[in-house]
Structure 1
């Protein structure tokens, strides 16, 4: 029994030290990554002749159709949208509603790039947003999206309430 206690105490101490280890993300330079993303986005939109504008946040956007309405967006605003998303410069989509039903979500429950871009349009509107990694999934990535990925979305709002 005494041996079990010692092993348990040693395990707890080891776990405590492991929890104190600095993660590699603590050394991540957000400003440098945002600058690199911005340069890559600018090069991409020039090369592909995309008439995108830069929002003060750093997100680039192209309003294809503004839509109709006068909704004042809040984090609790529900939006229903058709969309397709890909990593910038990649033709393969990592997520899409094409061929399916539009998806509904609260605006406050999506990535920051969407929270910045979607309020620029109303119901029936379409926007293309090119999102620096900081406003997407950052240096952690998710699923098929690698860390530090610039995201490129086409979004059409079918409903806003």
Structure 2
């Protein structure tokens, strides 16, 4: 989504809308797509780029689009605490936070996400500032998630 937005063309906007529409038309999510971190990343991307690919779409598309993050945020909220998700728990929390901010009628998700965020940061970030996995890639991913959460 970020790359299509960077292009900024009508063709890129149309492609983004088409990709999201295809996903929304899926009858059942495959197991990978249903993982909390993948769902959190999807919610964050869709809500973060809504003005690019969805604001000019028809009402049916926008309504169908917004019903999915609500359902996925509900599932994410129920999946907390996220301890079994290793380093990807921050991505799941980021999605839940994005949903709560973008949809004020679901402010209870904000309370729930914030309840677990501090503990998750303490669990993942060691006293020396490194990620618990001691992997530069995991450290970068956690840092990116935390920067986006802060924004």
The TM-score bracket by the shorter chain reads: under 0.3
More helix by share: 2
The structure with more radius of gyration: 1
More strand by share: 1
